[in-house]
């Protein structure tokens, strides 16, 4: 490579998700403005930016809660789709195309339940959305409701107690127990989810998302409201999900220490427009990023400067 050549990043070589020219308009407000970026397969990618930058709107477009005004959202199962496969799906008006070793899905054409069920993209929300009156274990079983309904032939096989149904039910229970253990909540399995402390509810939300077997996990501010010890545990959990399950992770996060600590790739938005895209190291030294945060308020200025100083000090 010559000195002038730009490095080729993993997210460019093997993207699991490619966001192309995404626009989202609410009346006259352009919340997302011609946004393009890639999420690398097996990477932890952070989407950051000041309040109101458009991060949650991007998540809502990716996960089928909003239909984008314009743009293409390409998800590749197994490997990045070839140009021919992509053209075939785009031109024939289909939502997706799958073969034995790969699949390509155009998420902007899919409703939310198909984004989770078929494209295998799971998400958590900025405000916790558990079924607080149900037990911790029941929350994880409900997450697998669609798969269980399919296995039960929409009740008939379940009523008859056919083997395919009993096996599916056993698998769902095992999966729920596995994730309870992973997030350290086995002891609380029979307690109402609403009785858990805040940090445990956040972990349960991640466990619930993982029970649907996603290939891409989208987390909206997973560290919000966590104390420093819980933040460290969250970092470990996300690393384990990536390492042991190969799940790619896209997260929105305001906590810069979490972002800089665990991300492979950071994309920065301001007023709906991408202002920076690169490694955490490159992004944190990008003057456009610092300026965007400095433009928010004094608390943000101090927070950004403190993280920059700490990160720079740690390296020198
Ligand atoms: N359903 C909606 N209708 C109208 N405007 C909306 C809607 N959803 C979001 N917006 C607007 O779009 C812009 C981006 O909002 P969004 O919630 O995506 O930002 P954000 O970066 O996630 O902010 P935060 O960090 O505060 O959560 C804001 O101006 C917001 O008011």
CA distance 248 to 239: 10
pLDDT at site 1: 47
Q: Distance, CA 56 to ligand 1 centroid (Å)?
A: 7
pLDDT at site 312: 56
pLDDT at site 235: 92
Domains of the chain: 8-120+214-279 (3.40.50.300), 129-212 (3.40.50.300)
Assigned token pair, 252: 């929105």
pLDDT in tens, the chain (316 residues): 445 566 688 899 999 999 999 999 999 999 999 999 999 999 999 999 999 999 999 999 999 999 999 999 999 998 888 888 888 888 888 888 887 778 899 999 999 999 998 999 999 987 778 888 889 999 998 877 666 566 555 555 555 565 566 777 788 888 999 999 999 999 999 999 999 998 999 999 999 999 999 999 999 999 988 998 899 999 999 999 999 999 999 999 988 888 999 999 999 999 999 999 999 999 988 888 888 876 655 455 566 666 666 765 655 4
DSSP 118: T
DSSP 192: B
pLDDT at site 311: 60
Three-state SS string across 61-101, please?
A: HHCCCCCCCEEEEEEEECCCCCHHHHHHHHHHCCCEEECCC
Number of Cα atoms under 13 Å in the Cβ half of residue 6: 7
pTM for the whole structure: 0.86
Burial 116-135 (b: 16+ CB within 10 A, else e): bebbbbbbbbeebebeeeeb
pLDDT at site 308: 63
Task: Provide CB contacts within 8 A for 95, sequence distance 6+.
Answer: 89, 105, 106, 109, 110, 114, 118
pLDDT at site 298: 47
DSSP 7: P
pLDDT at site 270: 93
Q: Find the residues whose C-beta lies inside 6 A of ligand 1.
A: 26, 29, 31, 49, 51-57
Return the best residue to mutate from 23, 24, 26, 224 for the ligand 1 pocket (most ligand atoms within 8 A of CB): 26
CA distance 149 to 169: 10
Nearest CA to ligand 1 atom 2: 26
Closest atom of ligand 1 to CA, residue 53: 21
Closest atom of ligand 1 to CA, residue 54: 18
Return the best residue to mutate from 23, 27, 28, 29 for the ligand 1 pocket (most ligand atoms within 8 A of CB): 29
Residue pair 217/122 in contact (Cβ under 8 Å)? The answer is yes
Q: Distance, CA 53 to ligand 1 centroid (Å)?
A: 7
Interhelix angle 228-245/198-210, rounded to 10 degrees, is 10
Regarding beta strands 44-48 and 273-278, do their DSSP bridges make them parallel or antiparallel, or are they unpaired?
unpaired
Q: Distance, CA 69 to ligand 1 centroid (Å)?
A: 15
């Amino acid at each position: 490579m010559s000195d002038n050549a730009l490095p080729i990043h993993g997210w460019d070589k093997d993207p699991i998700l490619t966001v192309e020219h995404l626009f989202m308009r609410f009346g006259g407000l352009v919340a997302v403005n011609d946004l393009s970026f890639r999420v690398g397969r097996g990477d932890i990618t952070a989407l950051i930016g000041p309040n109101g930058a458009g991060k949650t709107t991007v998540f809502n477009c990716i996960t089928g809660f909003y239909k984008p005004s314009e743009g293409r959202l390409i998800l590749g199962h197994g490997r990045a789709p070839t140009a021919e496969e992509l053209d075939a799906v785009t031109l024939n008006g289909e939502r997706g195309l799958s073969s034995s070793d790969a699949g390509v899905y155009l998420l902007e054409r899919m409703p939310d339940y198909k984004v989770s069920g078929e494209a295998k993209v799971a998400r958590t929300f900025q405000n916790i959305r558990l079924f607080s009156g149900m037990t911790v274990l029941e929350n994880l079983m409900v997450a697998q409701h669609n798969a269980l309904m399919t296995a039960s032939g929409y009740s008939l096989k379940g009523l008859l107690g056919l083997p395919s149904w009993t096996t599916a039910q056993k698998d769902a229970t095992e999966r729920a127990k596995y994730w309870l253990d992973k997030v350290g909540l086995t002891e609380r399995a029979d307690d109402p989810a609403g009785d858990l402390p805040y940090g445990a509810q956040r972990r349960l939300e991640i466990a619930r998302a993982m029970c649907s077997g996603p290939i891409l996990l989208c987390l909206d501010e997973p560290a919000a409201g966590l104390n420093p010890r819980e933040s460290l545990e969250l970092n470990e959990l996300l690393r384990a999900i990536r390492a042991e399950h190969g799940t790619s992770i896209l997260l929105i996060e305001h906590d810069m220490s979490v972002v800089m600590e665990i991300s492979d790739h950071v994309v920065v938005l301001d007023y709906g427009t991408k202002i920076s895209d690169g490694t955490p190291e490159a992004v944190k030294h990008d003057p456009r990023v610092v300026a965007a945060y400095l433009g928010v308020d004094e608390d943000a200025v101090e927070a950004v400067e403190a993280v920059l100083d700490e990160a720079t000090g740690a390296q020198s």
